[in-house]
Amino acid sequence: MKAYVFHGPGQSAWEDVPDPDIKDPTDAVVRVDTVTICGTDLHILKGDVPEVRPGTVLGHEAVGEVVEVGADVRTVRPGDRVLVSCVSACGRCRYCREAVYGQCLGGGGWILGHLVDGTQAEYVRVPFADLSVYALPAAVPSEDAVLLADIFPTAYEVGVLNGRVRPGDTVAVVGAGPIGLAVIAAAHLFAPERVIAVDVDPARLEAARRLGAEAVADAREAPEQLVADLTAGLGADVVVEAVGLPETFETCTRMVRPGGRVANVGVHGRPATLHLEDLWIKDVTITTGLVDTHSTPTLLKMAAAGRLPTSQLITHTFPLERMQEAYDVFGHAAETGALKVVLGGPQREVVPVPTA
Ligand SMILES: [Zn+2]
Ligand SMILES: [Zn+2]
């Protein structure tokens, strides 16, 4: 089969690899129909995730059809159309028993496209299939469903639920990339008074408005001031960090009201300063975390009911074999305007790569 293989920092290719097969009785093999590229994949290609070994197939998000299951798999059968989640779960360890699958100690957690071969391929072996794939309602198209493999549960759990968004809240979202935009959409499920989006890219701020941000601010022009102006000087009830830079994290801690919550979603590579000289008196809660995907069944129901604006995040589609072009478009989002790129499916419109 063909797969997108990591060969070390800056080196990767869509190439021939052996077909996966069942290794453990809890495995399933899924024929990939639809797949997407995550910002984390770009981090891997840059060499920021050193535990990914050369030779690993990338990707941790997919929709496809189960073609084979191990003897112990009970929840899906060959022929089932499934969502392959970014997080796998052994189901037995102390964290899995609390539905904290992201911290699984039994060999699960984020493993696809990380510690084992991933989903950017024609076929993928999914370990612990019972708790790691989800049968899909027919009402949810594959390209919408694939956004429920990672970005929507991440935005919902690590942003909105960790931030404890409540009706009437002012929610500030710093970073209007795919995750930040999904946070904006998911925050609206809780009827906030307003959502304020902060970014440096006017196109992304426009997308934030379309997804329900009532106010937007340029990150370089004292966005704290807009938040203060809209909240009688108090600050936001909930601030979600969806960038992963020291400066944006520190901006979040300046935007939050006393007694408020800062939910960090961004993947950080450098230390940020925690300004306890300001925060010690403010009764602020700061949360961090990896997605657990315990919300996937809920989000699938919401998507089937048309309550998640998944398709608004998809800017580019490609056939599977044009993976490298899709990476080029996604990796140059500032020039291409890419939010989510989706690959696969039979009848997709092909978007040409802009020539710079
Ligand atoms: Zn991801
Ligand atoms: Zn576990």
Distance (Å) from CA 119 to ligand 2 centroid? 21
Hey, is 44 helix, strand or coil?
helix
Residue that has been written with the tokens 């978007």 in this structure? 351
Q: What is the pLDDT of residue 104?
A: 98
For each of the domains in the chain, give its residue range(s) and CATH number, in order of start: 2-149+293-344 (3.90.180.10), 153-287 (3.40.50.720)
Q: Is the pLDDT of residue 86 over 60?
A: yes
Nearest to 208 by CA among 157, 242, 167, 164: 242
Structure tokens at 132: 């790691």
* Ligand with the closest atom to the CA of 132: 2
Of the listed ligands, the closest to the CA of 44 is 1
Query: What would the two tokens of residue 70 be?
Result: 């191990």
Q: Which one-letter amino acid corresponds to residue 184?
A: I
> Does residue 260 contact residue 235 with C-beta atoms inside 8 Å?
yes
Q: What is the DSSP string of 246-304?
A: HHHHHHHHHHEEEEEEEEE-S--SS-----HHHHTTS--EEE------TTHHHHHHHHH
Q: Which ligand is nearest to the CA of 107?
A: 2
CA–centroid distance, 276 to ligand 1, in Å, is 31
Residues 38-63 pLDDT 10s: 999 999 999 989 999 999 999 999 99
Alpha carbons within 13 angstroms on the beta-carbon side of residue 146 total 28
Q: Which residue has the tokens 């009532």?
A: 214
Strands (E), 73-146: 81-84, 123-126, 133-135
Contact of 71 with 46, CB cutoff 8 Å: no
Could you tell me the two tokens for 31? 């024929």
Give the span between the Cα atoms of 236 and 183, in whole angstroms: 15
Rounded to the nearest angstrom, the distance between the alpha carbon of 111 and the centre of ligand 1 is 11
Which of helix, strand or coil describes residue 306?
coil
Residue-level pLDDT at 346: 47
CA dihedral 306, 307, 312, 316 (to 10 degrees): -60
Cβ neighbours, 10 Å, residue 209 = 15
Q: For ligand 1, an ion, list residues with CB under 5 A.
A: 38, 40, 150
pLDDT of res. 254? 97
329 confidence band (pLDDT: 50, 70, 90): very high
Give 177-215 pLDDT, tens digit per residue: 999 999 999 999 999 999 999 999 999 999 999 999 999
Using the mean position of ligand 2's atoms as its centre, give its distance from the Cα of residue 76 in Å: 19
Structure tokens at 65: 């059809």
What is the pTM assigned to this prediction?
0.94
**DSSP assigned state of 10:** T
pLDDT in tens, 234-285: 999 999 999 999 999 999 999 999 999 999 999 998 999 999 999 999 999 9
Confidence of residue 232 (pLDDT cuts 50, 70, 90): very high
DSSP state of 313: G
